[in-house]
Amino acid sequence: MTKLLANSSLEENTVLVVAAHADDEVLGCAGTIAKHTANGDKVEVIFLTDGVSSRVDKVDESVIVARRDAAAQSMKVLNVSAIHQADFPDNQLDTVPLLSVIHFIEPIIEQLKPQIVYTHFAHDLNIDHRICHQAVMTACRPQSGHGVKSIFSFEVLSSTEWNSPSLPSFTPQYINNISDYWPQKERALHCYQKEMRQFPHSRSFECIEALATLRGATHGFAKAEAFFVERILN
């Protein structure tokens, strides 16, 4: 299902964000999305699951609708052009053939023709994040004529930092200054109020701002988002 949020004209860059759950995109790269759209770039977002149906044995449909409404409101704050919502099982993407996930993503890439893709880090604790990453990397195979030039992995607090110490840690090489776009990220986060936790949980407003301050201040900015560089073709 594709839900259009705004009209858009021809832009310099076309950007696709692929997230396992609605709110991952804001936690990981809302400031970057806002920066892209402010610069005239077209941004669309894919959500692979509803993000809530794994929490209890039976989820009321209203909970799923509320999560999707929160996503729509958040994407309006960030001026995202469209949402593509899949219906894969939440926190069970490992039970779905990888090819099925790839086949959902590939037609969107073919139609949108993004130059830049953002998605999850390969070694997040959350299984959906890991499958999402693998599906994106497969759908964006660097073949002749493929338009994706850059792929970046973002960090999601309460998943990226909780991965096993035996696995490679998140070591970002690309730091994006979002100082001017932090207010938009805050507003987008507040759309997902029900998904936030009380400090000192890492998915609290305080911790998310602390991470943005750390990523920024260690590179001379007030606020920043950090990314692992998967690919840059020039």
The whole-angstrom separation of Cα 3 and Cα 85 is: 8
Model confidence at 58, in pLDDT bands (50, 70, 90)? low
H runs (alpha helix) in the chain:
24-38, 61-77, 98-112, 127-139, 182-191, 205-217
Q: What is the reported pLDDT for 40?
A: 97
Show me where the domains of the chain are located.
8-232
Is 106 a residue whose pLDDT tops 90? yes
pTM of the model: 0.92
pLDDT at 50: 80
Which position has the higher pLDDT, 147 or 30? 30
Sort 102 into a burial class: Cβ within 10 Å, 0-12 / 13-18 / 19+: middle
DSSP element (H, E) containing 125: none
Q: What is the pLDDT of residue 61?
A: 76
Asked if the model's pLDDT at residue 11 lies above 50, the reply is no
CATH 3.40.50.300 fits 8-232, yes or no: no
pLDDT tens, residue by residue, 165-221: 999 999 999 999 999 999 999 999 999 998 899 999 999 999 999 999 999 999 999
The per-residue pLDDT for range 119-159, each reduced to its tens digit, is 999 999 999 999 999 999 999 999 887 889 999 999 999 99
List, in sequence order, every residue forming a beta bridge with 14; answer none if it has no partner.
42
pLDDT at 159: 97
Higher confidence at residue 135 or residue 57? 135
